[in-house]
């Protein structure tokens, strides 16, 4: 048996679930650990918006995979022979084929690459339909506006990316220069482009970006991030932040003619390993992306 641990926000959970589907397609017995990372005060599990199903790892199975039992005999055995923890974390921020052969295992990490599931892309798209989400009148009006023009989603991630523990990893990538260049490039590629901005800091974005063809999409808080993801996926073209959230917003748009612009650096590389990222994150990019 193998298991995939859910962690992070909606975008990360989607990558993890896509890996679960891929492992199942290989004929493996696969379960999902959906309880370890989601205690009080943590981010919520958000896959329910898609109405997906999965086999759930039990706490007893988790203890077995991580050798974390607290019975006296288990503690004595660990002290004598060492811990037999079968957890496995991806070796880097890039595609790691080891996950397809390691068994038994509990897979930790985000697995942010289409390479894990490219051959079952149709199954993944079917899984990530918004079955349990009904747009209200305000959202339907915005959706009609998006569908009625050469719409371009622009994702600006601030909020948690500005927290001290995240700055070294994420900051200095999606700069003002990046967005200016991406918007200019998209105007060249898409005649009549209209830019729909999505952000967890809408007030800052509204003050920073103002033009006749700029629209700020508001009204969907962090707990309803799936609503922004839905509207983002309805746009015809996309300018990404270095975020799994906007990655999926673009990927769920199945139009082969879409234009997708992404930052040339996804994470800040740290040679000392302080941030846990020691090599460039390159497998996040898909073949249609224009990297700036």
* Range 244-270 average pLDDT: 94
> What is the chain's mean pLDDT, rounded?
90
The pLDDT tens digits for 16-52 are 999 999 999 999 999 999 999 987 655 678 899 999 9
> The dihedral of CA 76, 79, 82, 85: what is its sign?
positive
- Contact partners, residue 196, CB within 8 Å, separation at least 6: 146, 151, 152, 153, 154, 215, 217, 231, 232, 235
The span from the CA of 243 to the CA of 166, in Å, is 13
Average pLDDT over residues 78-92: 81
Residue spans of the domains in the chain: they are 2-127, 137-291
Q: State residue 93's pLDDT score.
A: 87
* pTM assigned to the model: 0.92
Of 24-33, 77-86, 250-259, the least confident? 77-86
Neighbour order of strands in the sheet with 2-5: 30-33, 2-5, 105-108, 87-89
Secondary structure string (H, E, C) spanning 119-138: HHHHHHHHHCCCCCCCCCHH
Q: Which two tokens stand for residue 5?
A: 């641990």
CA-to-CA separations, 17 to 5, 74, 158, in angstroms, rounded: 9, 32, 25
The rounded distance, in Å, linking the Cα atoms of 183 and 205 is 14
pLDDT computed for residue 160 by the predictor: 63
Q: How does residue 276 score in pLDDT terms, banded at 50, 70 and 90?
A: low
The Cβ-side half-sphere exposure at 166, using a 13 Å CA radius, reads: 11
Measured between alpha carbons, how far is residue 232 from residues 57, 188, 229 in Å?
Answer: 32, 21, 5
Mean pLDDT computed over 92-98: 93
Question: What is the CATH topology of the domain spanning 137-291?
Answer: Rossmann fold (3.40.50)
**Residue 279: pLDDT above 80?**
no
Interatomic CA distance for residues 133 and 59, integer angstroms: 30
DSSP H stretches of helix in 159-264 = 164-170, 176-189, 202-208, 225-234, 244-251
What pLDDT is attached to residue 210? 86
Name which residue leads in pLDDT, 114 or 220: 114
Q: What is the mean pLDDT of residues 117-126?
A: 98
Instruction: Note the pLDDT of residue 43.
Output: 61
Q: Which residue has the higher pLDDT, 67 or 131?
A: 131
pLDDT at residue 169 above 50? yes
Tell me the pLDDT band of 274, cut-offs 50, 70 and 90.
very low
pLDDT of residue 48: 93
The mean-pLDDT minimum among 69-73, 184-188, 269-273 falls in: 269-273
Q: What is residue 79's predicted lDDT score, i.e. its pLDDT?
A: 65
> At 159, is the pLDDT very low, low, confident or very high (cuts 50, 70, 90)?
low
> What is the C-alpha separation between 270 and 115, in angstroms, rounded?
24
């Amino acid at each position: 048996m193998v298991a995939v641990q859910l962690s992070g926000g909606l975008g990360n959970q989607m990558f993890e679930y896509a890996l679960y589907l891929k492992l199942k397609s290989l004929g493996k017995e696969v379960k999902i650990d959906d309880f370890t990372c989601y205690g009080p005060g943590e981010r919520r599990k958000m896959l329910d918006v898609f109405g997906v199903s999965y086999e759930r790892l039990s706490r007893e199975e988790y203890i077995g995979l991580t050798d974390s039992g607290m019975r006296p005999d288990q503690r004595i055995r660990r002290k004598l022979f060492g811990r037999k923890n079968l957890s496995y974390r991806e070796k880097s921020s890039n595609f790691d084929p080891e996950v397809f052969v390691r068994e038994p295992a509990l897979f930790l990490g985000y697995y942010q690459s289409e390479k894990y599931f490219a051959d079952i892309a149709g199954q993944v798209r079917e899984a990530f339909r918004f079955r349990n989400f009904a747009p209200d009148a305000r959202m339907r009006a915005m959706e009609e506006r998006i569908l009625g023009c050469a719409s371009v989603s622009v994702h600006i991630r601030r909020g948690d990316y500005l927290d001290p523990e995240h700055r070294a990893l994420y900051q200095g990538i999606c700069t003002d220069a990046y967005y200016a260049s991406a918007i200019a490039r998209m105007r060249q590629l898409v005649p009549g482009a209209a830019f729909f901005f999505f952000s967890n800091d809408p007030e800052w974005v509204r003050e920073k970006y103002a033009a006749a063809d700029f629209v700020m999409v508001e009204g969907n808080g962090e707990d309803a991030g799936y609503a922004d993801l839905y509207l983002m996926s309805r746009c015809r073209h996309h300018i990404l932040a270095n975020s799994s959230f906007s990655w999926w917003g673009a990927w769920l748009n199945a139009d082969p003619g879409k234009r997708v612009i992404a930052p040339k650096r996804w994470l800040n590389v740290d040679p000392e390993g302080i941030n846990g990222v020691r090599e460039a994150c390159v497998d996040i990019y898909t073949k249609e992306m224009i990297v700036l």
